[in-house]
Structure 1
Amino acid sequence: MLWFDDADAIAPALPAIWLVRTDAEPRNLTERSALRRGLALRIVARQLGCPEDDVLIDHDAAGRPLIALPSVTGLHLSLATRAGTVAVGLAQRPLGVDVERVDAEMKPPFDLLHPEERGMLEAMSLAMRPLAFARLWAAKEAYVKALGTGFTRPPESFCVSLLSDSHFSTRDPQHRTECQGALRLMKNGGQDVLAAAAIVLD
């Protein structure tokens, strides 16, 4: 998994994630969507070597973003936005990417977590939980985006394990598979600490 923080960077190989800090402060879902789409158009056009006007980003029936034009790229797309930071993922297989803010005041929603995830968080000190939860939730959301279900799939129905500061795994009884994904931290303007996660399905 390659990570870039420059929207104009061209990945020499895929999968790749562009985690780009912007000066935008989107106030609602419409503005967040426009920010995501605009940056994704720029990144996809650069990666494909074509003008932005030749790229069209649409959504499938489940709401997952896709590259509608050019029509035969063979690429999968995933998008996320948090606190003015945009994540754009490209891969040759289904992928998901998510970004979450580390919130020291937030109490983790234990009832939405797999029992093993709850146990992991409860065993941690209170000071360590916000970062661990942000990483955990970003990983869970990235996984359901890669599946194409979003959280119509109950988040407690599969288990994420944080393997290290840079990797996680998912264990899913519905698919009888274990997949590994990547984690990254970044600071957004020195104010927010953001946890990003990305996963590509086999």
Structure 2
Amino acid sequence: MHWSDHADAIAPALPAVWLVRTGEKPRDLTERSALRRGTARRILARQLGCRDSEVAIGHDPAGRPFIALPDAPGLHLSLATRAGIVAIGLARHPLGVDIEAVEAEAPPPLDLLHPQERELLDRAAPAARPLAFARLWAAKEAYVKALGTGFARAPESFSVFLSSDGRFCVADPLRRAEASGEIRLIEDGGRNVLAAAAIVLA
């Protein structure tokens, strides 16, 4: 997985993820969507060798984004936004990206986790739980985006295992193929710590 933090960077190979600090503070879902799509069009234009105005992003019936223009057969797209940071994933197989903020004050919704994930949080020191939950949830959401289901797939129906090297793997009783991805921690101008996750399903 190639990671970049600049919207004008061209990935030398795919899969690739761009984590772009926009400096924007979208106030609602409409502004977040506009920021996400505008940043994605800029990145895709550089990657595909065309003008921003020549890029169009569509969504399938389940809400998954795709490159509508220009013609880009075999390329898969995933988008996410949080706290003014936009994540764009591009790959030759289905992929998912997500960003989650570390919420130190809010108790994690343990009932949405697989029992093994709840055990992981129970074993973590209280101060470490918000970060552990953000990493878990980013990985889970990236996975269901790659599946194309979103959370129509119950989040507690599969489990994520985190490793110390920034990777994660998914145990899913509905899929025989092993799935693994990567997690990066980022800061938004020193105000927030966020966890970004990406996974490609070959």
Q: TM above 0.5, one fold? A: yes
**Superposition RMSD in Å:** 0.8
Give the alignment of 1:156-195 within 5 angstroms: 156-195=156-195
1:24 corresponds to which residue?
24
- Unmatched segments (≥5 aa) in structure 1: none
Asked whether the 8 Å contact 1:158–1:170 carries over to 2, the reply is yes
What is the CA distance between 1:165 and its match in structure 2?
A: 4.3
1:124 corresponds to which residue?
124
Of 89-98 and 73-82, more deviation after overlay is shown by 73-82
- Between the aligned partners of 2:138 and 2:165, the Cα distance in structure 1 is 13
Q: Partner amino acid for 1:64? A: R
- Between the aligned partners of 1:110 and 1:176, the Cα distance in structure 2 is 26
- Between the aligned partners of 1:171 and 1:106, the Cα distance in structure 2 is 27
What is the CA distance between 1:5 and its match in structure 2?
A: 0.4
Matched, 1:49 2:33: no
- What percent identity do the matched residue pairs reach? 68
What is the CA distance between 1:176 and its match in structure 2?
A: 2.2
Query: Under a length normalisation based on structure 1, what TM-score does the superposition of the two structures give?
Result: 0.98
Runs of 4+ with deviation above 2 angstroms: none
1:15 corresponds to which residue?
15
What is the CA distance between 1:73 and its match in structure 2?
A: 3.4
1:151 corresponds to which residue?
151
- Unmatched segments (≥5 aa) in structure 2: none
- Where 1:44 maps in the other structure, the secondary structure is helix
Of 164-173 and 32-41, more deviation after overlay is shown by 164-173
Of 152-161 and 162-171, more deviation after overlay is shown by 162-171
Query: Under a length normalisation based on structure 2, what TM-score does the superposition of the two structures give?
Result: 0.98
Asked whether the 8 Å contact 1:57–1:67 carries over to 2, the reply is yes
Asked whether the 8 Å contact 1:113–1:156 carries over to 2, the reply is yes
What is the CA distance between 1:82 and its match in structure 2?
A: 0.3
Q: Partner amino acid for 1:175? A: R
- Between the aligned partners of 1:165 and 1:194, the Cα distance in structure 2 is 17
- Between the aligned partners of 2:89 and 2:73, the Cα distance in structure 1 is 14
Asked whether the 8 Å contact 1:171–1:177 carries over to 2, the reply is no
